[in-house]
Structure 1
Amino acid sequence: RAALALALLTIVVSGCKPAPLPDAASPGAQLYANRCGRCHVPYNPHEMTASMWDTQVTMMEVKIQAAGMPALTSDERESILEYLKRNAGTE
């Protein structure tokens, strides 16, 4: 029974695709998907509040540096944060 449940869960989860990013064609969304999507699937901006995104981007910049990847330029950081905050959740 457990094996069957695990197999079904695997099928269901593997068939799930993340929801598309809001305003996906905008330059901010494309930059966010390109830079953040190098290491992980970009989170939907609605998943965090604007203030949470400030903290998250700062934390990720440390991880970017630790991974030896190019740092965000100030323009990239500003564009990504503007996009995330414009589409952020409220709770």
Structure 2
Amino acid sequence: MAKAETNDQRTERKNQSAIEPIAMRVPEACRYLGIGRSTLYVLINEGEIEIIKLGSSTLVLAESLRSLVERRRNPADPHTADDRY
């Protein structure tokens, strides 16, 4: 007969299995950012997003995606922001 798990044990096990990837394939990266495949490849070609190749697979680095969002969220030049407010 199997031992019954407590809620704390189930939560701990679930947290242990939720490992965040360091890289993802192109379709997952598109879903992560909410953009299309062609837009992702434009950003890659412009050097905005870093990739690695493993065999024939293109893997997009998760840190590179987070970095892109932060750069676009906090522009370096505050004078380029819209001053209507």
TM bucket (normalised to shorter chain) is under 0.3
Higher RCO (CA 8 Å, separation ≥ 6 residues): 1
Normalised to the residue count of structure 1, the TM-score between the two structures is 0.26
Question: Which one has the largest radius of gyration?
Answer: 2
Q: Whose strand fraction is larger, Structure 1's or Structure 2's? A: 2
